[in-house]
Amino acid sequence: MNQYDIIIIGAGPGGLTAGIYAGRQGTKNLIIDKDLAGGLGREVPAMENYPGFDSISGMELIEKIKEQAIKNCDLHEMEEVTEITKTDAEYRFTVETDKDEYQSKTVILATGSSHRQLGAKGEDEFKGKGVSYCATCDGFFFAGRDIIMVGGGNSALQEALYLKNLGANVTIVHRRDEFRAQKHLQDMIKEAEINTILNATVDEIKGEMLVESVVLKDTQTGELTELPINGVFVSVGYIPHTELANQLGVQLDESGHIITDKNQKTNIDYVYAIGDVCVGLKQWVVACGEGAVAATSAFTDIQ
C-alpha cells in the first residue's frame, strides 16, 4: 500500500502550492488530479493581477508552478479519485482511484469547480458546435465571425477582450444593468469598442448543424429578440466539485461550497479544503495562499 503524510486532491494553483509547501516541510506528499494540472486555470487567456507578472497566461503560470511542485512532491495527473474512506488507524484515509489505492494521514481537498451552464434551450445540442465555455480553447475558430460572450464578471470581460484580439466580432450579453467586473476591465471593454447588451438573457440557441442565432429575452419587458450569430461563449460562474467532500461528511454552505476555518480546516478532523471549492474569493492568489495555509496546518496536526 502506498502511504503518504498528505494527499492533495486537485492540481490547480492551490493544490500545486500546497504540494510545494508540504514537500518543503519534509513530509511525504501526493497530488492527484483527474485531468492535467491546472484545471480551469489553463483556460485563462491573460492575468494582469497575479503578483510578479504584468501579464501572463494561465497555461504559462501553471507550468511554472507545476515545475516547482514536482520538485517537492509526487504528482499523478489523469487519475481520478473515486472514493475516500476514514478509519481510526495512523493512516486515517484510504483514497481509491481508477488506477490505484493509497493511504494518508491527512487529506487536502482542492477539487475546484466546473463551468455553470445557462440552461437555455439548445445549449446542450450545440456544445462544440458553436457553444463554448473556453475562449482560449475555441476562440481561434471564430476570427472574423459574430459571437456573443454571456456574463458580466471578470472572466467574461477578460475573455471578451481576448476574443476581440483574435479578430472575432464580440457582443457581451449580461442579465443585469451593469457589469460586476473590475472597473479596469470595464474601461478596457469601452476602449476596445466592444458592443454590450444589458438586461438580457439567452432564451434559446438556434441553428441547423451549427449555431446560427440566439433568442435574447429582455429581463425588464420580457420581449424576445433574435440575433444572428455564429458562436456563444459562456462565462456565468462555476459549480463547486464537492462529491468527495460529501462522502466524508464535510460541511457545506447554502451555495454548496465547503466551509473552512482560518487554518483551512473543515469540520472533519485532518481534512482541509482550498480554492474554488471553498467559500470565498475565487482568485489564483487566494487559492495559492490557502494551499500554503492548509499544508502548514496538516503538517502541524500530524506532528
* Residues designated as active site: 134, 137-138
Residue 23 near residue 71 (C-beta atoms within 8 A):
yes
Q: Which long-range contacts (CB under 8 A, 24 or more apart) does 62-68 make?
A: 62/13, 62/16, 62/37, 62/38, 65/13, 65/16, 65/17, 65/20, 65/288, 66/11, 66/16, 66/37, 66/38, 68/16, 68/20
Give the whole-angstrom CA distance, residue 198 versus residue 196: 6
Question: Which residue is listed with cell 482542492?
Answer: 110
Tell me the three-class secondary structure of 181-240, residue by residue. CCHHHHHHHHHCCCEEECCEEEEEEEECCCEEEEEEEECCCCCEEEEECCEEEECCCEEE
Label residues 143-172 b or e (16+ Cβ within 10 Å = b). Answer: eeeebbbbbbbbbbbbbbbbbbebebbbbb
